[in-house]
Amino acid sequence: MATNILKLKSGRKIYYSTKESIENKLISNKIKLNNLTDLENKVYEGGLKIWECSLDLSYFIDSMSFEGFNVLELGCGAGLPSIVAALNGAASLTLQDFNDYVLEANTKINFQLNGIDLSKCSFVKCDWANCLELEGFKKFDIILTSETIYNEENYLDLLEIMNKLLNNEGEIYLAAKNYYFGLSGSIPAFQSLIETQGIFSCQ
């Protein structure tokens, strides 16, 4: 299988699916999308492409130890940050995405490409508004998420699930663009809501 390679500063290489291999997997599963990059609110949230900030987050956590931590990645898409966390010692990983075919055609494949033990991984398809209703969700030490604040309509659901699922001493690592032009989201808008709610502190 042809793969792309993300080279980290540590020298580690992370392997992930090419666009062509994802498309072939979708075809074999009889799933058709017109364009892997087009967002369609509440239908397809872009999890089949590699978003720039997921690479940034992977670089950022490359040198961090996740030894013994339970990790959740929200809006995981390709799951690259979680792969880094797994290789850095995470005890368990839960990967959430809006689309089940993203998890099957992209996320799981990438974990297999990097030799990650899938027995310590859970792959969950859900909307943030109903994830908390699913069985099996627990408290997490670390929450990872990237490119998930492009739509202000989702902010309250995102903050609620973060608040409910993060341990008291846990940390959230969020990677995003300052502004999403043509969309409603931005770091200032999300940070303002966080400060208004007073649940988390930002650094």
Structural domains in the chain, sorted by start: 3-197 (3.40.50.150)
Q: What is the C-alpha to C-alpha distance for residues 9 and 25, in angstroms, rounded to an integer? A: 31
Rounded distance between C-alpha atoms, residue 172 and residue 144, angstroms: 6
Give the pLDDT confidence score for residue 121 in this predicted structure.
96
Which candidate, 70, 67, 97, 80, places its Cα nearest to that of 171? 70
Q: How confident is the model at residue 43 (pLDDT cuts 50, 70, 90)?
A: very low
The token duo for 46 is 């872009």
Does 96 or 181 have the greater pLDDT score? 96
Q: How confident is the model over 135-176, as pLDDT tens digits?
A: 667 899 999 999 999 989 999 999 999 999 999 999 999 999
Residue 85 has pLDDT above 90, yes or no: yes
